[in-house]
Structure 1
Amino acid sequence: MRKRTLYAWGVAIVCFLVLMIVTPAIPQSQEYHDFADQLDFFGIPNTLNVVSNFPFLVIGVIGLVLCFYKDYFKFSLQGELWGWTCFFIGVAAVGVGSSYYHLDPDDARLVWDRLPMTIAFTSIVAIFIIERIDEQKGTVSIIPLLLAGVISILFFDDLRLYGVVQFVPCIAIPLMAILLPPMYTHSAYWLWAAGFYLLAKIEEAMDKVIYKWTHHVVSGHTLKHLCAAMVPVFLTLMLAKRTIETNRISLLKTWKVSWTEVNGNGCQVESREYAYTSVQSEDSHSR
């Protein structure tokens, strides 16, 4: 197991180094700060882009409190507590940091917008390692992953490292949620969270288009904040509802696959449904 872990880390480091060598540097574009909605209300600059961050602060504080309130989330492992604590701290900090940035968008303030997000991203990766791979390795990885996120922000003139920190979890987490057997029930909530985050990124990319479609009522970036805030909402609901999974089967194996089969004469229609489940062998029964 130790050799496989070292091998995996070695492959990851080599892939990262190759990526940094073969790809050009990606500077921070100043056009990024030019958001569609720049209207001011009640003396608050860029009002909707600022106040739409408030849900992050609310759900972050609620989640952080519940982490330590009478074992409300019923964590089974100590590493889970620290991982989720870091996550909710990051979420709450997004509400503050992103609001601060949108009051007067520039490069210096953008650091405080992105830093909390990297804390949340990297914490989630550590949580997945703890719950689905190995508790000790996941717990030990919390600090290195957080440091990697912080370092990615320091390379402000080159967004490649930040891109890796942000987008690799977006791919890895849904895949792990589907392929790796969960420790707890309600694992599908991870996919709901991933779906809302994907929608948020689409809205961010269509900031000005959505602002035009809505006749300057709401911009894509404002909607991005609201959709992204649904990620910690769904994860908090998952933590509140889940229980220990007695039969650890991955989502891929539990999903049902069904389709309708039309016979050759084109008249008779037959529906079939299949479910992927674990089946014990006869040898295991005989033992």
Structure 2
Amino acid sequence: MKYRTVLVWAVAILCFVVLMIVTPAIPQSEEYHDFADKREFFGIPNTLNVISNFPFLVIGLMGLVLCYYGNYFKLSLQGEIWGWTCFFIGVAAVSFGSAYYHLEPNDARLVWDRLPMTVAFTSLIAIFIIERIDERKGTMSIIPLLLVGIISILYWRFFDDLRPYGLVQFVPCIALPLMALLLPPMYTHSTYWLWAAAFYLLAKIEEAEDKPIYKLTHHIVSGHTLKHLFAAVVPVFLMLMLAKRTTETNRISLFRSWKISRVIIKANEIKVESRGYSSVPDEES
């Protein structure tokens, strides 16, 4: 088992080194800071992009309270408690970091926007490892994963290269839904992970279509403002999952359970059809 773990880490590091060698650096484009909605209300620059971060603060604080107040989420493993604590701290901190950035968008302030998001992303990876692979390894991975995220942001800031940060953000977007589908869960209500992933995907689409959405809505709301609101729904789904879930007695992956359900449905359809045919009397010749 230890040999396999070392081998996986070695392959991952080798792939990262090769990727860094064969691909060119990706600098931060200044156009990124050119958002569609620059309106100012009540003396607040870029008002809607600033205040639309407020839901992150509310949801993050609620998550922290429910993690500890009466153990509402029923977190039985120490690693889970640490992982979800880091996640909800990251969610709450997004409200401050993103609001600070949008008051005056530039590279220096963007660091404080991306840092709490990276904390939230890397915490979720550790949580998945705890729940679906190995509790001890997942708990031990929390701090290293957080450090990897922080280092990727520092690397971008000092070397103007987004490649490491892009991997830290991109890999969870692919890995977490796949793990939710293919790995047997420790708890029920795993479909909430997929709902959370779907809303995050919608948020990224709205971010990319910032100006077209602003134009389409007749300058009422921009895509980036909607991105904040849709991204805030992600931790809401995860809170619902934590509140509803129970220990999974029959650990089967979502993909396998859906496959079994399809087989059962088809078998029932065949039975119904066969009964329908058998009930029809034969015509006399």
- TM-score, L = length of structure 2: 0.90
Deviations 1:230-271 (A, max 9, x none): 11010011101111011111001111337999xxxxxxxx95
Equivalent-residue separation in structure 2 for 1:229 and 1:97 (angstroms): 14
Whether 2:187 is the aligned partner of 1:184: answer yes
Name the SS for the 2:262 alignment partner.
Answer: strand
Check whether the contact 1:121–1:169 (CA below 8 A) recurs between aligned residues.
yes
1:266 corresponding residue in structure 2: none
2:86 corresponding residue in structure 1: 86
2:257 corresponding residue in structure 1: 254
Name the SS for the 1:122 alignment partner.
Answer: helix
Q: Which has the higher helix share?
A: 2
1:278 corresponding residue in structure 2: none
CA root-mean-square deviation:
1.6
1:237 corresponding residue in structure 2: 240
Shift of 1:144: 0.4
The amino acid of 1:61's aligned partner reads L
Name the SS for the 2:45 alignment partner.
Answer: coil
1:47 corresponding residue in structure 2: 47
Equivalent-residue separation in structure 2 for 1:234 and 1:197 (angstroms): 11
Check whether the contact 1:123–1:145 (CA below 8 A) recurs between aligned residues.
yes
2:178 corresponding residue in structure 1: 175
Higher radius of gyration, 1 or 2? 2
Equivalent-residue separation in structure 1 for 2:176 and 2:198 (angstroms): 12
Equivalent-residue separation in structure 2 for 1:245 and 1:18 (angstroms): 40
Equivalent-residue separation in structure 2 for 1:112 and 1:257 (angstroms): 47
2:200 corresponding residue in structure 1: 197
Shift of 1:6: 0.7
Q: How many residues align?
A: 265
The amino acid of 1:144's aligned partner reads P
Residue segments in structure 2 that go unaligned for 5+ positions in a row = 272-285
The amino acid of 1:92's aligned partner reads A
Residue segments in structure 1 that go unaligned for 5+ positions in a row = 262-269, 274-287
- TM-score, L = length of structure 1: 0.90
Check whether the contact 1:132–1:180 (CA below 8 A) recurs between aligned residues.
yes
Equivalent-residue separation in structure 2 for 1:10 and 1:171 (angstroms): 21
Equivalent-residue separation in structure 2 for 1:96 and 1:56 (angstroms): 9
Check whether the contact 1:259–1:272 (CA below 8 A) recurs between aligned residues.
no
1:143 corresponding residue in structure 2: 143
Which aligned pairs between 1:80-119 and structure 2 lie closer than 5 A?
Answer: 80-119=80-119
Deviations 1:102-125 (A, max 9, x none): 011011100000000000000000
Shift of 1:71: 1.3
Equivalent-residue separation in structure 1 for 2:262 and 2:92 (angstroms): 39
Deviations 1:125-177 (A, max 9, x none): 00000010001100000000000000011012000000000010000000000
Deviations 1:46-94 (A, max 9, x none): 0110011011110000001111111111112110000000000000000
Q: Which has the higher strand share?
A: 1
Equivalent-residue separation in structure 2 for 1:215 and 1:174 (angstroms): 35
2:279 corresponding residue in structure 1: none
Shift of 1:272: 5.7
Which 4+ stretches in 1 moved above 2 angstroms? 256-261, 270-273
Check whether the contact 1:48–1:222 (CA below 8 A) recurs between aligned residues.
yes
Name the SS for the 2:127 alignment partner.
Answer: helix
Check whether the contact 1:90–1:117 (CA below 8 A) recurs between aligned residues.
yes
Check whether the contact 1:53–1:225 (CA below 8 A) recurs between aligned residues.
yes
